Chain A
Amino acid sequence: MDLVCPAGSLPALKKAVDNGASAVYVGFKDETNARHFSGLNFKEAKVQSAVDYARAKGVKLYIAVNTYSQPDGWDKWQKAVDVAAGIEADALICADMGVLDYATQKYPDLNLHLSVQGSSTNSESLSFYKNNFNIKRAVLPRVLSLKQVAQVAKKSPVELEVFAFGSLCIMAEGRCYLSSYLTDQSPNTCGACSPANFVRWQETDEGLESRLNEVLIDRYQEGEKAGYPTLCKGRFEVEGRVYHALEEPTSLNTIELIPDLHEIGIKAVKIEGRQRSPAYVEQVVSVWRKALDAYARDPENFKIKPQWAKPLANVSEGSQTTLGAYTRAWQ
């Protein structure tokens, strides 16, 4: 299986390439991609260096143009596609049908992948994208159980990529508007979830408080580890009980599923985290490369090694990991 790795900067891209990525995915410095954070991503001029570095080492470069184009900004999305086509990206990762349509019409030879933001969770939906835009691959949302991934793979008209490691979206990607409900910016419209400019930290008598657009997301007592106030991972009150009503701060880690994913016929596994540091990319990519290589060498006797666990736990949200929706118990 291919190892598809994130890069939000050239140093991160170099770490991914040098530590065993099969492909690296990047985005431009605007709202055309789903990690539109300040200080992150590539200017047009820089993206050529990214391609050059990756290609020189036999690694592919994918470009994510995976937010939904709105009427007033179409030229940005169009330009993003044009630039990606111009540098002959190995794949363009899109979600919006308007963008996919433009790319298909204008660059029929461009290799199109359906982004996880396209929210395609079944074979009939994948067929629509295949028939209308000739996508070659789709990234599955993190809502399917392993059994369901296998069902989709059996009938899928395109190659499939699944999430292997990183921050866990608990909602079907591409169809979650929680962030814009609180802040006016969502992954679909702006490429941002719980955007940093709406975040406020405050020490109070009742503890350290994290707020998103003034809404209290969590309150930490002394000694509790505070996490970024992603709104679905806050502690809220439901009928008098305060708990993580939607999800705890935790990361997805599916290293133990490598044999299953391979047998199902998954073509690529994806590491989340273009917003993370080069050090994160280095640690996660190198562990996953070792794990995939160990499996390839001796699939029958694949075992998780204890030395893989620690570096992954260190870079995980809340220092804990989960198999997420792949297991029914999580659901």
Chain B
Amino acid sequence: MKLSLGPVLFFWPKQRVYDFYEQMLQTSVDTIYLGETVCSKRRELKTAEWIELASYLAESGKEVVLSSLALLMADSELSSLRTLCNKASLKIEANDISAVQLMSEQNLPFVCGPSTNIYNARTLKLMQKNAAMRWVMPVELSGHCLKTILKEADDLGFGDKIETEVFSYGHLPLAYSARCFTARYLDLPKDDCRFSCINYPEGVEVRSQEQQALFNINGTQTQSSSVYNLLGEVAEMQEMGVDMLRISPRADDTAGIIERFKAAIKGESQEIPLSNSACNGYWYAKPGMDLIAENQLDAGRLSC
């Protein structure tokens, strides 16, 4: 089972991005996804610079995939997407069906990102026929659903033709909007947002009036405030035939997290470092914010 580094979902200064990826080259990740997936106004790195960075990282021997924007609303965004997708030498993560269209019409391999809405084996098969080489399960689906989809894929005879990746660690991307919630928080119009996301390297926390942490505002994206953590489920995923686990970058200690997952894959880690700010409910078909501890699990938990 391999490890991937998801695209940085936050808006970081250019130098920080470069330094981050230099550091990531030294870690155990097998695959690096990179690129702007949230907001086209974030242009510390322009499309050409992302492509250049990707090409440089690919020289390390790690697999490198360019991640595309999730919500495309303007013609200018489509034309940037075309630039990305026409770089035939690089793989693309499609986070919108527009990218699926552009890659499949060239019959080039691509990854179906977590927002492409693959909820069943029939859809997965269609994507595989359209040249998808890997898919990332939607974050709200459970382990039980995944198991069933993978079994059906085998029954339909295409299970070995597409790889499966699971979002396993990080703030969960939960929603995309035309509205920028960071600008709204700062009372700025979106058209004059002053690129304020750059001041929040891991988003802005939204709490209930009772101080319960709920969401994480990241520009036009809303994330879970809690950090999804499937470290305790690595063995189960291995058994299920999951090919790749995705670590979503955080502002601090992403390298440390990667090595803990690496150890878990090797069967070396017995420790389950779940804190109060972690969640894993989605995996157990519970509310995503829930944290199901090892001792609460029972045989009846896996209903879809």
A residues with a Cβ closer than 8 A to B are: 68-74, 95-98, 101-102, 119-125, 127-129, 131-132, 143-145, 148, 151, 170-172, 174-178, 180-184, 186, 188-189, 213, 215-219, 232, 234-239, 241-242, 245-247, 325, 328-331
Q: How far is the CA of A188 from the CA of B139 in the complex (A)?
A: 12
Taken together as a complex, chains A and B put the C-alpha atoms of A78 and B120 apart, in Å, by 13
B185 to A242, Cβ gap below 8 A?
no
**Which of A132, A172, A182 contacts B177, CB < 8 Å?**
A172
**Beta-carbon contact of B304 and A132 below 8 Å:** no
- Does A184 contact B185, Cβ atoms closer than 8 Å? no
Which B residue sits closest to A123, measured CB to CB?
Answer: B78
Are A177 and B190 within 8 A (Cβ)? no
- Cα distance A233–B160 in the bound complex, in angstroms: 44
Q: CB of B210 within 8 A of chain A?
A: yes
B96-A125 in contact (CB<8A): yes
Q: Is the CB of B175 within 8 A of A177?
A: yes
Q: Nearest Cβ in chain A — how far from B102, in angstroms? A: 6
Residues of B within 8 A of A235 (CB): 209
User: Do A178 and B174 form a contact, CB below 8 Å, given A216-B209, A235-B209, A236-B214?
Assistant: yes
Count B-side interface residues using an 8 Å CB cutoff.
72
In the complex, how many angstroms separate the beta carbon of B86 from the nearest chain A beta carbon? Answer: 13
B120 touches A119 (CB 8 A): no
> What 6 A-B pairs are tightest by C-beta distance, nearest first?
A98-B122, A71-B148, A124-B98, A68-B119, A181-B288, A128-B101
Would you call B181 an interface residue if the criterion is a C-beta within 8 Å of the partner chain's C-beta atoms? yes
A129–B97 CB distance below 8 A: yes
Complex Cα spacing A111 to B196, Å: 46
Q: Which of B73, B117, B180 contacts A148 (CB 8 A)?
A: B73
Minimum Cβ distance to chain B for residue A198 (Å) = 9
A216 touches B175 (CB 8 A): no
Contact A171 B180 (CB under 8 A): no
| A-B CB contacts (within 8 Å), total count | 219
A171→B191 contact, CB < 8 A: no
- A237 & B211 in contact (Cβ 8 Å cutoff): yes
Q: Considering the chains assembled together, what is the distance between the CA atoms of A98 and B152 in angstroms?
A: 13
- Measured CB to CB, the closest approach of chain A to B213, in angstroms, equals 10
Complex: A313 Cα to B287 Cα, angstroms:
35
With beta carbons under 8 angstroms apart, the residue of B104, B120, B222, B285 that contacts A128 is B104
Q: Is the CB of A175 within 8 A of B70?
A: yes
> Is there a chain A Cβ closer than 8 Å to B50's Cβ?
no
**Known interface pairs A97-B122, A121-B73, A188-B117. Does A71 touch B177 (Cβ–Cβ under 8 Å)?**
no
Q: Are B122 and A188 in contact (CB under 8 A)?
A: no
A246 to B98, CA, bound (A): 27
Can you identify 25 A-B contacts, CB atoms within 8 angstroms? A68-B117, A70-B119, A70-B145, A71-B145, A71-B304, A72-B148, A72-B304, A73-B304, A97-B117, A121-B71, A122-B77, A122-B96, A124-B97, A124-B101, A128-B98, A143-B73, A143-B177, A148-B73, A151-B75, A175-B176, A182-B214, A184-B286, A237-B208, A246-B181, A331-B178
Which of A143, A145, A216, A247 is in CB contact (< 8 Å) with B212?
A216
Residues of B within 8 Å of A239, CB to CB, are 185, 204-205
B73, A98: Cβ atoms under 8 Å?
no
Q: Distance in Å from the Cβ of A237 to the closest Cβ of chain B? A: 5
- Which residue on chain B has the smallest CB distance to residue A174? B117
Complex-state Cα separation, A102 to B285, whole angstroms:
26
Determine if B126 and A132 form an interchain contact, defined as CB atoms under 8 angstroms apart.
yes
Q: Is the CB of B205 within 8 A of A178?
A: no
Given A216-B209, A235-B209, A328:B148 Cβ within 8 A: no
Residue pair B119, A122 in contact (C-beta under 8 Å) = no
Contact B210 A216 (CB under 8 A): yes
Contacting A at CB under 8 A, from B99-121, are 99-102, 104, 115, 117-121
A70-B141, A170-B177 known; A238 vs B73 contact (CB < 8 Å): no
**B136 interface residue, CB < 8 Å from A?**
no
What residues of chain A lie closer than 8 Å to B282, measured between beta carbons?
180-181
Inter-subunit contact A175/B104 (CB<8 Å):
no
Across the interface, do A125 and B98 meet the contact criterion of CB distance under 8 Å?
yes
Which residue from B81, B104, B141, B287 sits with its C-beta under 8 Å from A182? B287
B74 with A148: CB separation less than 8 A: yes
Given A70-B120, A177-B174, A215-B212: A121 touches B72 (CB 8 Å cut-off): yes
Chain B neighbourhood of A236, CB < 8 A: 206-209, 214-215
Q: Across the interface, which residues of A come within 8 angstroms of B277, CB to CB? A: none
CB distance A145 to B140 under 8 Å?
A: no
Q: Which residue of A lies closest to B119 (CB)?
A: A68
- Find the residue from A172, A216, A239, A241 having the highest chain B CB count within 10 A: A172
> Do the beta carbons of B190 and A331 come within 8 Å of each other?
yes
Of the residues B97, B152, B184, contact of A71 by C-beta under 8 Å:
B152
Q: Mark B184-218, 1 if CB is under 8 A from A, else 0.
A: 11000111000000000000111111111011010
CB of B291, distance to nearest CB on chain A (Å): 13
Instruction: For the complex, give the distance between the alpha carbons of A248 and B224 in Å.
Output: 20
Alpha-carbon distance between A310 and B25 when the two chains are bound, in angstroms? 62
Residues 222-240 of B contacting A (Cβ, < 8 Å) = 222, 224
Contact yes or no, A101 B123, CB < 8 A: yes
If A183-B287, A237-B209 are given as contacts, then 10 extra A-B residue pairs at C-beta distance below 8 Å, sorted by A number, are A70-B145, A96-B119, A97-B122, A123-B78, A128-B100, A128-B104, A151-B75, A177-B140, A216-B210, A217-B208
